[in-house]
Every structure is written in structure tokens, then in C-alpha cells.
A and B are shown apart, each in its own frame.
Chain A
Amino acid sequence: KAGVTQTPRYLIKTRGQQVTLSCSPISGHRSVSWYQQTPGQGLQFLFEYFSETQRNKGNFPGRFSGRQFSNSRSEMNVSTLELGDSALYLCASSSPAQETQYFGPGTRLLVL
């Protein structure tokens, strides 16, 4: 089975711009979770989607949003980028029968 894929792998943006990141889960997985990872804060939960519905949401401002499509692919969007948004953004998928999350390679975002 193919693993979780994320695109793009690297991004450079400037403050004030917006960005959209994409995640394709493992085939058959309906849950997709997004995380932000920075050296100081570790892995922080952004949100989780299950069957096109947001099931959980972390403590991030409204500039961070996401959605999930009928094929379980997910996108997250960050509007009005700030320098502090520079991070590794990870998505993870899991199947309904399992709680184990499998991570994609991540998108490294640099905001200048």
C-alpha cells in the first residue's frame, strides 16, 4: 500500500500571503489529522477530519483552516501568513478500525 503523501514538500512564502497544503491518506483511511511541528513547541494538533467532517480542532487561530474531500484527501489553508507559521506541517491518516496514525513526509514551510 502506498503511504501518506503530502504536497508540496517545501514552500517559501512571504508574510501576508496564504498557502494551501495537500494530503492524500493511505488507501482506505478516512481520518486525516494535521499537525504543526516547530523546534520549540513540538508536535501540535491542528485539526482532524473524518468522512469530510471536522471531528476535532486544536488551539490555533482561525487563519488555519482545513477541509476533506469525498475521496478522503485533505487540504489545509493558512491565510495571512506570519513569520511564526514557519514550521513542518505533518498530516497523518488512520483507518476506522485502528487508532494508529501514519504520518506523511511533511511540508516544510518557510515564511519570510
Chain B
Amino acid sequence: QKEVEQNSGPLSVPEGAIASLNCTYSDRGSQSFFWYRQYSGKSPELIMSIYSNGDKEDGRFTAQLNKASQYVSLLIRDSQPSDSATYLCAVKRGNTPLVFGKGTRLSVIA
């Protein structure tokens, strides 16, 4: 059973701080890793994808992947109240289905 684990939160951070969201996965053969953001009542929207070990930066967002530790994280710098949402980690191997974690709820306090 392939699993993706995330702390459900809520993770509360003050405005302007760095939010750190973490995810572990069980399938060592996983090749592709994704972070989605989901606002309450809305559908998930893609934030970032990452495929190789290391860091990938896009604006205020940085995804970090460590395949040896089966760990992927998302850092949000200069957190804003508009970043308050549930963040979903998803993992994929080949043509098998995308496997989602249950998400971490982030609350950015103004």
C-alpha cells in the first residue's frame, strides 16, 4: 500500500515568517513529486513539481526533495494571510496513479 504522510496541522505561522510543510512517502520507486494548494471549497491547484534531489525555487516557494530519506518539503517564505489553505503532497511512479497525502492546513496570522 503506497502511502503519503503529512501532518494534518493546523500549522500556524505569523505573517512574514517561513512556513515549512513536510511530507514522507513509502514507495521508494516514486519518481515525481507535487505540491498542490487547496482553498476551502475549491479544487487543488498546482504549486510546484520536483523530480530530482535538491531544492527547486519558484518565487516565494521552495520545494526540497530527499529520495534517500523519502522526504519532500515545501517552504513558503514571507508567508501571507492569502497563503492560508490546505497543502497537499502528491507522489507518482511511472503510469501508476498519483497518490495524495491528506494535507496540512496552514494558517497565516496577520
The chain A residues found within 8 Å of chain B, CB to CB, are 33, 35, 42-43, 45, 48, 55-56, 58, 88, 90, 92, 99-106
Contact = CB atoms under 8 A, between A and B. Distances in A.
B100 A105 contact: no
A104 B95 contact: no
Given A56-B95, A99-B92, A100-B49, A42 B101 contact: yes
A48 B96 CA distance: 9
Nearest 3 pairs of A and B residues by beta carbon? A42-B102, A43-B100, A103-B43
A103 B44 contact: yes
Nearest to A39: B102
A65 B99 CA distance: 20
Contacts of B49: 99-100
Interface string B84-97: 00001000100111
B78 interface: no
A58 B45 contact: no
B42 interface: yes
A90 B95 contact: no
